[in-house]
Amino acid sequence: MHRILSTQLQAHTGRTVRLAGWVHRRRLLKSVAFLILRDRTGLAQIVVPQGKQLPPEETVIEVTGTVVANPVAPGGAEIVEPTVTALAEPAAPLPFDLYRPELTAALPVQLDHAPLALRHPQRRNAFRLSAEVVAGFRRTLDGLGFTEIHTPKVVGSATESGANVFALDYFGRPAYLAQSPQFYKQMMVGVFERVYEVGPAFRAEPHDTGRHLAQYTSLDAELGFITDHRDVMAVVREAVAAMSTVDVPEEIPAIHFADALALMGADPGEPDLAPAHERWLGEWVRREHGSEFLFVTGYPMVKRPFYTYPQPDRPAYSNSFDLLFRGLEVATGGQRLHRHGDYVAALAARGERVDESYLETFRYGIPPHGGFAIGLERFVARLVGAANVRQTTLFPRDRRRLTP
């Protein structure tokens, strides 16, 4: 007999069916017992005659039986006269219950037991949402003529400043884990004009915060033949609108960094926004513009990497932006330098060095271009209201956590 899923139960009322899944919960009432079966789509109620032995929670079972309508059962139907077969039995009692509406175990305990904790419907749902977010990102960029790429995660020199980089023994020589695909996506503008990548990025983040991890999933894009950073922001807007069901304005409000500081009465010499600033701006844009999103543009050059394009009329600022979502930075981007001579000058002025093969890209002609990166786990954390990005990362990596 073909297996059906719990969400298909009601459509099979009156028929004999086969379900498979996990024992989510046993409920022993006075005259009857219920098994609640969990499969990948939801829950199903199995009515078990009194006196039968009930398999413990997380036993993998197959159930055949007759579907009858029951408006108070999950999905409006339940299984009666079941035959229950165990496919795999748990080898130990569970460290915490999965059947309550919320997991009561503390987050570190959940993370220690991730293979179990992630089975909880609420935790699981965040990662199904995460998959939909990524699908929305790709669908948007595919529709705009972007090509997906896969770039090296082991590199010969640190992508950005060299801070917080993981070092590696690469056949006896030093190598590093890529902090971003930045250089590669710029190289690929010369090939496909418009590229994106969904992949891991690595930061040896020394701080223990709810916003940073040693590995995260970066949604990266880069496009050529732009006028300036506003063409990039238009793509970000399209992507973000497809990445959630949150209302995204046709044009996301934008405020220049200098104007944002002035609005908050902050020191005009501040080189960056503090988390408190971002929260303040998140409240402000919701109140004043009814938007959950805000672009902050024109960040000072001093806090942006060497490849950043300066703002032509105010060269201490840059053609860059961050996207705030509910008061937290979830995306960063901007226009990049594109002339070989500008790279040589910018690196000399900062006393920085990069691999020659990166500079070769610009030696052979690259159009005005820009791009952006969205941190997947952070974006999803904002969507589901999770305070800690570890709640939206399947198996988080931080200074202390290397397993599971």
Site for a copy of itself, residues 182 to 211, rule: CB under 8 A = 183-184, 187-188, 190-194, 198-200, 202, 204, 206
**Count of residues that bind a copy of itself according to CB under 8 A:** 94
Among 45, 215, 291, 318, binds a copy of itself (CB under 8 A): 215
- The rounded distance, in Å, linking the Cα atoms of 178 and 259 is 34
Among 81, 148, 251, 259, binds a copy of itself (CB under 8 A): 148
Among 217, 319, 335, 391, binds a copy of itself (CB under 8 A): 217
- Helix, coil or strand: residue 114: helix
52 binds a copy of itself (CB under 8 A): no
Interface of this chain with a copy of itself, residues 110 to 139, rule: CB under 8 A: 112-116, 118-119, 124, 127-128, 130-131, 134-135
CB of 150 or CB of 350, closer to a copy of itself: 150
231 binds a copy of itself (CB under 8 A): no
Interface of this chain with a copy of itself, residues 301 to 320, rule: CB under 8 A: none
CB of 280 or CB of 395, closer to a copy of itself: 395
Stretch that binds a copy of itself, among 251-259, 288-296, 323-331, 336-344 (CB under 8 A): 336-344
Site map (CB under 8 A) of a copy of itself, residues 339-378, x = contact: xxx-------------x-xx-xxxxxxxxx-------x--
Segments of 29-151 assigned E as strands: 33-38, 43-48, 60-69, 77-88, 147-148
Burial status of residue 3 (CB atoms within 10 A of its CB: 0-12, 13-18, 19 or more)? middle
Residue 213 CB, nearest approach to a copy of itself (Å): 10
Residue 112 CB, nearest approach to a copy of itself (Å): 8
90 binds a copy of itself (CB under 8 A): yes
Q: Is the dihedral of CA 126, 130, 132, 133 positive or negative?
A: positive
Q: What are phi and psi of 216, to 5 degrees?
A: -140, 170
Under DSSP, the state recorded for 96 is: S
402 alpha carbon, distance to own chain's centre: 19
- The rounded distance, in Å, linking the Cα atoms of 393 and 228 is 34
399 binds a copy of itself (CB under 8 A): yes
Q: Which contiguous run of DSSP H or E holds residue 46?
A: strand 43-48
302-312 burial, b at 16+ Cβ within 10 Å, e below that, comes to eebbbbbbbbe
Residue 132 CB, nearest approach to a copy of itself (Å): 9
Segments of 179-304 assigned E as strands: 194-202, 215-224, 254-256, 293-297
Interface of this chain with a copy of itself, residues 236 to 295, rule: CB under 8 A: none
